[in-house]
Amino acid sequence: MNEYDSNRIYDLTSAIGFIKTEKKEEADCFVLNTCHIREKATEKVYHEIGRLKKNFRSSKKPLVIVSGCVAQAESAEIIKREPYIDMVVGPQSYHKIGDLILKYERNKKKINETEFDVIEKFDKLTKISNLQNKISSYLTIQEGCDKFCNFCVVPYTRGPEYSRPFQQIIDEAKDLINNGTKEITLLGQNVNAYNYLDNNKSYKLSSLIRELNNFKKLKRIRFTTSHPSDMTEDLIDCYKDCNKLMPFIHLPVQSGSDKILKLMNRKHNKKFYLSIVEKLKKINEKIKFSSDFIVGYPEESEIDFKETVDLIKRVGFVNSYSFIFSPRPGTPADAKKLNDLTINQARLKELQNILEGFQIQNNKNYLKKKCKVLVENKLNSGKQYFGRTEYMTPVIIQSSKCVPGEIIDVEITSFNQKNLFGLCDNNQELVA
């Protein structure tokens, strides 16, 4: 979502005359769009500011703006601690960034803008064209979360669930498609909770997928990130008859232990999660899954950990993200006693080995077979292209004739854990 937000911040600043530069030393303004999910996010901002200060020691100080979830969480505190920062803008206020920059240029007074103006934000963003011209683009449809998992900061930094108006999203999708986009990933912190009410009619994520599926020039549809308890029947049904909806779902489970899921306040248990996986597989056997895992959550025992391992083996996730639990300030889990770090590290290693095994096996299964790849761009060598399979696996294609935006058959000749390598036409084999 930060990538989407950063692109929109660029659209908003270009509306007041700013242009992007690759030469950092020439910039008049820096926007650090931050994420608060990972550990030490705030410290990373201070380090980045330290680097800026050093680089601009003997030249004119640029305007320095910190936006995103760290800005929201730290608010005025961040300016107090680091006076080199001129402005703090929360993720639900960045639509004002153009006006705020102009205000700062007039008054030269520090600005702290961290209100939750999410409706106003999307009204404003709708009036400024989305200038993204990528083959694969993101489109935010929903923000915030009402689930309040005990380890997560999102409900505090992004605020309560908000679903953008249906037509607003469709109009933005049309802009993207007219700019050359062939694949749209619908975004939300809780994307499958999307629910927009208009004149007593309810529009769900499934309504959006079905509408987008009709756009002739659009080739692929994805969505992320989903919560298991919002995988409703209407959404599952889309996998039966929406041919552009890719058979790959990122469905975070976090743990396979019912005790830990309860302590996390995840609102689903292992049995329910597996029943969703089963329903999806039944409706479309091609579907594969990825997930997020938190290892070493407070009170996780060896038995709880083995429950997670069991779940991984039953689902066979093809790609996942896994981390040792680290507390986020202000969340209920922050007050809990941490588990032994050595045990946590050993568990993470074991879990990641199993996940890697599934990922490698999945890639190996492609060997000497043809797969459908959406070509995204040419690589620097000039004789290779980058694309992705239906399952998001990166593919390096040996060819001098690919056309970005086309879906082509690629014969896979080698692989490593994360990538596939292959041929189209009669070009030479690539070596991993």
- Is residue 326 within 8 A of residue 338, CB to CB? The reply is no
Comparing CB distances to ligand SF4, the nearer of 114 and 189 is 189
Burial letters 68-105, b for 16+ CB under 10 A, else e: bbbbbbbeeebbeebeebbbbbbbbbbbbbbebbeebe
Q: Dihedral of CA 53/56/62/65: which sign?
A: negative
CB of 272 to ligand SF4, least distance (A): 14
Q: How many angstroms separate the first and last alpha carbons of the chain? A: 31
Q: How far is the CB of 83 from ligand SF4 (least distance, A)?
A: 32
Helix axes 166-178, 118-127, angle to 10 degrees: 40
Q: Least distance to ligand SF4 from the beta carbon of 408, Å?
A: 36
Binding residues vs ligand SF4 (CB under 6 A) = 145, 147-149, 152, 154-155, 189-190, 227
Preceding omega of 308 cis (within 30 degrees of 0): no
- Compute φ and ψ for 263, nearest 5 degrees: -60, -30
Beta carbon of residue 145, minimum distance to ligand SF4 (angstroms, whole number): 3
Q: What ranges in 16-159 are assigned the alpha helix state H?
A: 41-55, 69-74, 76-81, 97-107, 118-127, 154-157
CB of 183 to ligand SF4, least distance (A): 24
* DSSP state at residue 324: E
Edge-to-edge strands, sheet with 248-250: 248-250, 288-295, 319-324
State the minimum distance, in angstroms, from the CB of residue 299 to ligand SF4.
18
Minimum CB separation of residue 153 from ligand SF4 in Å reads 8
For ligand SF4, give the closer residue by CB, 70 or 420: 70
Smaller CB separation from ligand SF4, 62 or 188: 188
**What is the Cα–Cα distance from 331 to 312, expressed in whole angstroms?**
27
Smaller CB distance to ligand SF4: residue 207 or 224?
224
- Name the strand (E) or helix (H) holding 307: helix 302-315
How far is 151 from 332, CA to CA, in rounded Å? Answer: 7
User: Which CB sits closer to ligand SF4, 154 or 186?
Assistant: 154
Q: Toward ligand SF4, which CB reaches closer, 65 or 70? A: 70
For ligand SF4, the closer CB: 152 or 287: 152
Of 179 and 229, nearer to ligand SF4 (C-beta) is 229
Judged by beta carbon, residue 3 or residue 390, the one nearer ligand SF4 is 3
Minimum distance, C-beta of residue 304 to ligand SF4, in the bound complex (Å): 18
- Is 373:410 a contact under the CB 8 Å cutoff? yes
Structure tokens at 93: 């206020």
Least distance (Å) between residue 190 CB and ligand SF4: 5
Query: Which CB, 227 or 270, lies closer to ligand SF4?
Result: 227
Q: Is 83 helix (H, G, I), strand (E, B) or coil?
A: coil
Written as one string, the DSSP assignment of 172-236 is HHHHHHHTT--EEEEE-TTGGG-EEEETTEEEEHHHHHHHHHT-TT--EEEEE---GGG--HHHH
Least spacing, CB of residue 294 vs ligand SF4, in Å: 9
The answer to whether residues 102 and 44 touch, using CB atoms and an 8 Å cutoff, is: no
C-alpha to C-alpha distance for 431 and 367, rounded to whole angstroms: 13
